[in-house]
C-alpha cells in the first residue's frame, strides 16, 4: 500500500497537497527523549508529559498559551502547513471526531490515551470518547465463576452479567476521567443517558440492546462547558431498563447522528493487516476495493464483519468522513499529518483518466484550476494558456469523479512523460484521493519527470518519490525510472529545448571550483574506478566545503546562558563549560530548580533561575542581570524552543551586531534551511563560523552520518543502507523523581532515569522501529553530499542496560565489488585532517571504548564475500559527541575560539 501522501508541486506542479511522508519527531537530543520507552515511542504526547503537567501546575510556562505551545509540539510531527491545515479543518467542523476505545487500552495504555486526549483538548478540539470494557468484564466474571458466553459475537447478558458490567463500565469511565483531569484537562463522565434502546432479541441474547435513538444533548452540553465527553456503551429502554450494547455498534450509531469528520477505532494492533502477507493495509477505498476485498480468501470472520460494518457506517455519512483504525501512540500522527497512521477507510470515488480536455469537461477543469492552482490563482499563467501548452503534445488527465483531485501528464510519443500539474481540493486532501491518483500515474508511466521550487516545504515527498534530483536557480527537478547520469542529462536537455520544463537546470556539470581545503570525496583512483564514478559525473552535487578544525581567532572571554539545564545533557554541558578556558556560564534556567545553586560548576557561584520568554527578551536587551550573554544554548524539549528563539531575536534586533549566537539541541530546527546544521567534520565549518543560528545534530544522526558519508559514492542506488543503533539508557533522558519513593532523593526537581536497567531487566529493548526522526535527519543532510541529491537509509534503534554510549552498525549494499582495504582507504582519506574527534580504529568499537569520550570511533570494516556489501561499526557517547561536546564544538567555531577549546579529545 502506498503512503497517504500529499504535496505541493508548483509552479509547474501546482499547489496540491499529496499526503507527504512525515513521521513523528520524537526526540530533541538522545539524552532528553522518551524514545527508549518502547510503548510510548510513537506518541508525541508522551514526549510532552512534562509540558502538559507544567500547564496544570502553573508557573512561568503559563505566559505561553497552551494551544500555541502544543501546536508547536505538533510541528515535530510534520510541516507547519500540515498541522495548521488540519487544525483549521477540525476546528471548523461541527463535530470533530468520535473515538472508540477498546477495554484493553484502558487496562494497558490509560496514561498514553489520556495524554493524547489532553493534547487534543489543549488545542481546542473535543473528541467524543466512547469506551468498552470487555476484558475487564471477562476477568471479573471468571473470578466469580461465570463463563462468558457469546452468540454471533454478541455477549449473552443475564442480570448477573449486567450487574457486573454496569459496575465495570462506571469504574473504567471514572478512571479515564480522573486521569484526564490529573493532566489538567476537564472531562465529563456520561455513562448513561445517551443511548435509548430496545431489546435486540431478549430470548436469544438476554439484556442486550438495539440502539433506537441517540440523545446528543449531554455530549453538546459537555463540550459547551469545555469538557471532553466520556461515554460508555450502556443503553436504556424507554422504561429505564439498562441494556448492554456492543461498543463498536454504539460508536457507529453515535457517528450516524453526529456526522464527525473522523471515526477513530483505537486498538492494540494499530490497524487492519493483510491476511496472507501480514502487511498493514494503509488505505481502503471502499468504492473501488470493497467488492474485490470481500472475495479475498483471507477476508473472513472478524475482518469481513469489520469491513461490512465500516461500509454500512460510511454509506450513511458524508464523503468527507472517514474511519481510522490505529493504535493509541499514533493518534496525533493520524490526525495532524498527511502520512497518517494505521488503516484509513473511506468511501472514495472511482478514478478516471482521459486523453482530452473535452472528455473531462473544460469548464469543470477551469473552475478547479482557478480555485485551487497557485500558479493560476497568482496570475502567473491563465487557464487558457495552460490548456494551450498542454495540447501541443499527447497528454493524459487523471482524477476522481467529484473533481477533488486532477493531475496532468504530458506524454509525447517516445519521450519521457512530465507531470505538469497536480491539483487537489480540501476534500481531496482530507480523503487521500491523491494516493489513488498518484498510484495510477505510477502504474501507467515507468519513467516520469516533475519539478518544484527548491524551497518547497514538502520537498521531502519529492525526494521519497524520486530516484534522483538536482537543483538549479531556485528550482528542483525530480525523476524516477532514469538511472544513468548521462541519460538524465540528455533527458533534461531535450525537455528544456522543447520547453517542457523551465530552462533552469542545465548545465548539470558544475563549473570548476576554486582551490580550497575542500576534499569532497577525493577517493583513491582504485576506489573511484571500482564503483564507476568520476568527479565530472558528480558535477551537480551540492558543494560542501570541508576543511580541518579551525584554530582560535580570539581568546576574549564570553558569557553563555544555558536554557533548560536539567537532564544528563545539561549536566554534561556544565561539566565541559566548567573547564572551558574562555566561556563562563552567566545564566542557567530551570523552573523546578529555581533558586538552587548549580552543582558541578566551580568557576563562580551560579544559581538556577526561572527564565521565561519575557525574561529572555529582557536579558538579550541588557535589562536583566547585566549585559546580555554572547550565546545561548537551548537544551529544551522538542517543540518548546521557538518562542525562546524568537525572544532572543526580538530582544537583540537593535544590538550593533545583531542578537547573540544560538545553538539549539532540540530537533526543532534540524530541517530548517535558514539554520546552520552543525556537524563540522562532514559539512562546512565556515558556515558554522558565519552563523548566528546553529542546529545541533541528534546523537544517533551524528553516528549514522559519520558512518555513511564516506560510502556515498559507492552506495547501490537501488538498495538503501540500514543502520542498527543501540544506546545506553541515558538516551531516554530523565524524569522527576516520585515524591516519597524509597531510596530516591526528596530534593525538589531531583531526577531519575526514564528507563533504567531494572526496567530493561538486563535485556535490550527495540523502539521506534520505523520513521525515527534521526532517520529523516540523517537522510536529509547526507543528501547534500550525494550526486543525485538523495540518500535513502533505514534506521532501527534499541536501548540497552548500560548508562551512556551508542554502538551503530551500518549495512550498506554497494554498486560494484570492493575490498575491505578499498573501504578503509576511503574512510582514511575522507576523514584525513578532520581533527581528533573522529578516530579510525582497527577493531570493532565497544561501549567501554567510547563512553565518556568526546569523539567517535569507526572500525570493524568488513566486506561480504560478494564484494558488494560492507559493514562498518561506529561508537559514540550520546551525551558528548552526540550532544554536549558537539554543542561546544559548534559554539567554539561560531564564537571564534579554537574548535576544541574546553574539549579534551
End-to-end alpha carbon distance in the chain: 48
- Separation CA 573–CA 884 (nearest Å): 5
Residue 472: which H helix or E strand, with range? strand 468-472
731 DSSP 8-state letter: G
Residue 437 sits at φ, ψ, to 5 deg, of -65, -45
Do 311 and 290 form a contact (C-beta atoms < 8 A)? yes
Do 338 and 51 form a contact (C-beta atoms < 8 A)? no
Residue 573: which H helix or E strand, with range? helix 567-578
Active-site position among 30, 641, 699, 887:
699
Helix-strand-coil split of the chain, %, nearest 5 = 35, 20, 45
Whether 227 is catalytic: no
Beta partners for residue 874, in sequence order? 808, 858
Do 665 and 633 form a contact (C-beta atoms < 8 A)? yes
Strands 187-190 and 228-232: parallel
Instruction: Mention every residue, 6+ apart, whose C-beta is less than 8 A from residue 269.
Output: 327
Beta partners for residue 726, in sequence order? 798, 807
- Separation CA 481–CA 466 (nearest Å): 8
457 DSSP 8-state letter: T
Q: Number of H helices and number of E strands within the chain?
A: 32, 37
How far, CA to CA in Å, does 830 sit from each of 510, 544, 844?
A: 21, 13, 19
HSE value, Cβ hemisphere, 13 Å, CA-based, for 155: 26
How far, CA to CA in Å, does 792 sit from each of 470, 543, 575, 765?
A: 15, 19, 37, 25
Residue 824 sits at φ, ψ, to 5 deg, of -60, -45
Residue 405 sits at φ, ψ, to 5 deg, of -140, 135
- Separation CA 258–CA 641 (nearest Å): 38
Report DSSP letters for 868-903, one per residue.
SEEEEEEEE-TTIIIIIHHHHHHHHHHHTS-TTTT-
Give me 841's grid cell.
580504529
Report the alpha-carbon angle 803-804-808, nearest 5.
Answer: 125
Do 549 and 621 form a contact (C-beta atoms < 8 A)? no
Report the alpha-carbon angle 167-171-176, nearest 5.
Answer: 150
Coil vs helix vs strand at 480:
strand
How far, CA to CA in Å, does 40 sit from each of 24, 112, 327, 347?
A: 12, 7, 11, 32
> Radius of gyration of the chain from Cα atoms?
29
Query: Which regions of 219-319 does DSSP assign to beta strands (E)?
Result: 228-232, 234-236, 242-244, 262-266, 283-285
Report DSSP letters for 317-335, one per residue.
S-TT-EEEEE-GGGHHHHH
Which of 129, 348, 155 is CA-nearest to residue 254? 129
- Separation CA 468–CA 715 (nearest Å): 14
Do 816 and 868 form a contact (C-beta atoms < 8 A)? yes
Do 298 and 356 form a contact (C-beta atoms < 8 A)? no
Which of 739, 563, 782 is CA-nearest to residue 32? 563
Strands 722-728 and 676-677: unpaired
Active-site positions read 699
Amino acid at each position: 500500500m502506498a503512503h497517504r501522501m500529499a504535496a505541493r508541486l508548483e509552479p509547474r506542479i501546482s499547489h496540491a497537497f499529496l499526503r507527504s511522508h512525515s513521521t513523528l519527531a520524537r526526540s530533541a537530543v538522545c539524552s532528553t527523549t522518551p524514545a527508549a520507552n518502547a510503548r510510548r515511542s510513537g506518541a508525541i504526547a508522551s514526549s510532552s508529559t512534562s509540558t502538559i503537567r507544567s500547564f496544570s501546575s502553573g508557573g512561568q510556562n503559563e505566559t505561553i498559551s497552551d494551544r500555541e505551545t502544543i501546536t508547536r509540539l505538533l510541528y515535530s510531527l510534520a510541516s507547519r502547513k500540515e498541522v495548521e491545515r488540519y487544525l483549521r479543518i477540525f476546528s471548523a467542523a461541527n463535530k470533530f471526531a468520535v473515538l472508540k476505545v477498546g477495554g484493553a487500552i484502558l487496562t494497558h495504555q490509560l496514561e498514553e490515551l489520556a495524554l493524547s486526549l489532553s493534547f487534543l483538548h489543549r488545542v481546542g478540539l473535543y473528541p467524543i470518547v466512547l469506551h468498552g470494557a470487555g476484558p475487564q468484564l471477562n476477568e471479573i466474571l471468571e473470578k466469580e465463576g461465570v463463563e462468558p458466553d457469546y452468540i454471533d459475537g454478541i455477549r449473552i447478558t443475564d442480570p448477573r452479567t449486567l450487574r457486573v458490567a454496569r459496575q465495570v463500565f462506571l469504574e473504567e469511565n471514572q478512571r479515564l476521567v480522573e486521569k484526564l483531569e490529573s493532566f489538567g484537562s476537564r472531562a465529563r463522565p456520561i455513562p448513561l443517558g445517551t443511548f435509548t434502546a430496545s431489546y435486540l432479541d431478549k430470548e436469544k441474547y438476554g439484556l442486550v440492546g438495539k440502539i433506537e435513538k441517540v440523545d446528543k444533548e449531554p455530549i453538546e452540553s459537555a463540550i459547551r462547558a469545555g469538557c471532553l465527553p466520556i461515554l460508555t456503551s450502556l443503553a436504556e429502554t424507554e422504561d429505564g431498563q439498562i441494556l448492554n450494547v456492543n461498543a463498536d455498534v454504539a460508536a457507529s450509531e453515535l457517528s450516524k447522528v453526529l456526522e464527525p469528520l473522523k471515526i477513530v477505532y483505537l486498538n492494540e494492533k494499530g490497524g487492519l493487516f493483510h491476511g496472507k502477507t501480514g502487511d498493514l493495509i494503509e488505505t481502503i477505498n471502499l468504492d473501488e476495493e470493497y467488492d474485490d476485498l470481500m472475495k479475498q480468501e483471507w477476508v473472513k470472520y472478524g475482518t469481513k464483519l469489520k469491513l461490512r460494518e465500516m461500509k454500512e457506517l460510511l454509506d450513511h455519512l458524508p464523503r468527507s468522513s472517514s474511519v481510522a483504525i490505529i493504535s493509541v501512540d499514533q493518534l496525533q500522527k493520524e490526525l495532524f499529518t498527511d502520512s497518517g497512521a494505521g488503516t484509513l477507510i473511506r468511501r472514495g470515488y472511482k478514478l478516471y483518466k482521459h486523453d482530452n480536455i473535452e472528455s473531462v469537461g473544460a469548464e469543470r477543469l477551469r473552475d478547479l484550476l482557478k480555485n485551487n492552482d497557485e500558479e493560476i490563482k497568482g496570475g502567473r499563467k491563465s487557464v487558457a494558456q495552460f490548456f494551450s501548452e498542454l495540447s501541443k503534445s499527447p497528454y493524459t488527465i487523471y482524477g476522481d469523479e467529484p473533481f477533488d483531485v486532477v493531475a496532468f501528464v504530458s506524454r509525447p510519443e517516445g519521450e519521457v512523460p512530465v507531470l505538469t500539474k497536480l491539483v487537489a481540493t480540501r476534500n481531496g486532501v482530507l480523503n487521500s484521493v491523491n494516493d489513488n491518483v498518484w498510484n495510477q500515474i505510477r502504474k501507467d508511466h515507468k519513467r516520469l519527470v516533475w519539478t518544484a521550487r527548491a524551497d518547497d516545504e514538502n520537498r521531502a515527498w519529492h525526494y521519497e518519490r524520486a530516484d534522483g534530483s538536482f537543483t538549479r536557480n531556485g528550482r528542483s527537478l525530480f525523476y524516477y525510472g532514469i538511472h544513468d547520469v548521462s541519460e538524465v542529462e540528455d533527458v533534461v536537455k531535450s525537455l528544456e529545448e522543447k520547453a517542457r520544463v523551465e530552462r533552469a537546470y542545465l548545465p548539470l556539470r558544475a563549473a570548476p571550483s576554486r582551490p580550497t581545503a575542500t576534499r569532497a570525496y577525493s577517493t583513491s583512483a582504485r576506489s573511484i574506478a571500482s564503483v564507476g564514478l568520476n568527479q565530472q559525473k558528480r558535477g551537480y552535487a551540492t558543494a560542501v566545503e570541508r576543511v580541518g578544525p579551525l584554530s582560535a581567532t580570539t581568546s576574549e572571554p564570553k558569557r553563555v546562558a544555558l536554557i533548560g539545564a536539567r537532564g544528563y545533557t545539561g549536566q554534561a554541558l556544565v561539566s565541559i563549560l566548567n573547564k572551558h578556558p574562555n566561556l563562563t556560564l552567566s545564566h542557567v534556567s530551570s523552573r523546578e530548580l529555581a533558586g538552587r545553586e548549580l552543582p558541578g560548576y566551580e568557576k563562580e557561584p551560579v544559581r538556577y533561575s526561572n527564565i521565561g520568554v519575557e525574561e529572555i527578551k529582557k536579558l538579550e536587551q541588557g535589562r536583566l542581570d547585566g549585559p546580555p550573554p554572547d550565546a545561548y544554548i537551548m537544551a529544551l524539549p522538542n517543540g518548546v524552543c521557538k518562542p525562546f528563539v524568537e525572544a532572543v531575536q526580538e530582544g537583540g534586533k537593535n544590538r550593533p551586531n545583531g542578537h547573540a549566537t544560538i545553538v539549539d539541541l532540540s530537533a526543532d530546527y534540524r530541517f530548517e534551511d535558514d539554520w546552520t546544521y552543525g556537524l563540522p567534520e562532514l559539512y562546512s565549518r565556515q558556515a558554522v563560523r558565519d552563523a548566528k543560528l546553529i542546529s545541533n545534530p541528534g546523537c544517533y544522526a551524528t553516528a549514522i552520518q559519520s558512518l555513511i558519508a564516506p560510502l556515498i559514492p559507492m552506495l547501490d542506488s537501488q538498495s538503501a543502507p540500514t543502520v542498527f543503533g543501540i544506546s545506553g539508557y541515558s538516551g531516554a533522558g530523565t524524569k522527576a523523581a516520585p515524591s516519597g519513593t524509597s531510596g530516591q532523593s526528596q530534593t525538589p526537581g531531583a531526577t531519575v532515569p526514564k528507563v533504567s536497567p531494572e526496567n530493561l531487566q538486563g535485556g535490550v529493548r527495540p523502539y521506534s522501529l520505523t520513521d525515527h526522526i534521526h532517520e529523516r535527519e540523517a537522510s536529509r543532510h547526507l543528501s547534500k553530499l550525494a550526486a543525485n541529491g538523495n540518500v535513502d537509509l533505514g534506521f532501527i534503534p534499541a536501548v540497552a542496560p548500560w548508562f551512556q554510549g551508542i554502538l551503530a552498525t551500518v549495512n550498506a549494499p554497494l554498486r560494484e565489488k570492493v575490498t575491505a582495504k578499498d573501504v578503509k582507504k576511503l574512510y582514511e582519506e575522507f576523514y584525513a585532517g578532520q581533527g581528533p574527534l573522529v578516530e579510525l580504529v582497527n577493531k570493532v568499537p565497544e561501549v567501554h571504548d567510547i563512553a565518556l569520550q568526546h569523539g567517535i570511533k569507526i572500525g570493524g570494516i568488513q566486506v561480504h564475500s560478494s564484494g558488494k556489501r560492507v559493514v562498518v561499526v561506529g561508537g559514540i557517547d550520546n551525551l558528548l559527541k552526540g550532544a554536549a561536546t558537539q554543542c561546544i564544538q559548534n559554539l567554539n567555531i561560531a564564537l571564534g575560539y579554537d574548535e576544541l577549546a574546553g574539549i579534551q579529545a
